[in-house]
Amino acid sequence: MKTVFYSFIIAILTITASFAQKDLGDGWKIFGQIRLRSELDGRDFSNSTHPYTFASSRIRFGVQKSFEGKVILYIQAQDSRVFGSEPGTLKSSANLDLHQGYVMLNGLFGWNWLIQAGRFEVVYGTERFFGA
């Protein structure tokens, strides 16, 4: 019984969040992430109603180009959806958006500065009050 339980836990951990990155050389990197998540919402505390359950997915795909480490271009698209809420497979382009897209300038002209402009995740401390 223990081996079945541990096998189940390992399978869930490997399936729910997958991340891949490939370095193509010449400063190019492509990467992606797939996250599948099931949720159960039973906050009404009533035995006469069934809890609300649903499954969602988040798929991210990105490209990064580095020019000698001084200029970095980064683009990442994201598609988020709830399974079963789409009437067809071709009508749901509204869920696709730009998650991150920025330009980073690092040490240009011999300056010891890093400048980043665009749309990007912000991470401060433990991310409890402000973060990605």
Is the residue at 13 inside a domain?
no
What is residue 1's predicted lDDT score, i.e. its pLDDT? 63
Q: Into how many domains does the chain fold?
A: 1
Distance CA(74)–CA(71), nearest Å, equals 10
Is the residue at 93 inside a domain?
yes
CA-based angle 127:129:132, to the nearest 5?
A: 45
Mean model confidence pLDDT for the chain: 82
- In the predicted structure, residue 102 carries a pLDDT above the cut 80: yes
Domain ranges, residue 61: 19-119
Structure token pair of residue 109:
């002209």
Residue for token pair 């079945």: 4
**CB burial readout 22-38, b (16+ within 10 A) else e:** eeeeeeebeeebbeeee
Q: What is the pLDDT of residues 57-87, one digit of tens each?
A: 899 999 999 998 889 999 999 998 888 777 7
Structure token pair of residue 43:
């906050």
Is the residue at 12 inside a domain?
no
Is the residue at 41 inside a domain?
yes
Distance CA(31)–CA(25), nearest Å, equals 13
Is the residue at 1 inside a domain?
no
If one compares 25 and 2, the residue with the highest pLDDT of the two is 25
Average pLDDT over residues 117-124: 89
What is residue 5's predicted lDDT score, i.e. its pLDDT? 67
Tell me the whole-structure pTM to 2 decimals. 0.70
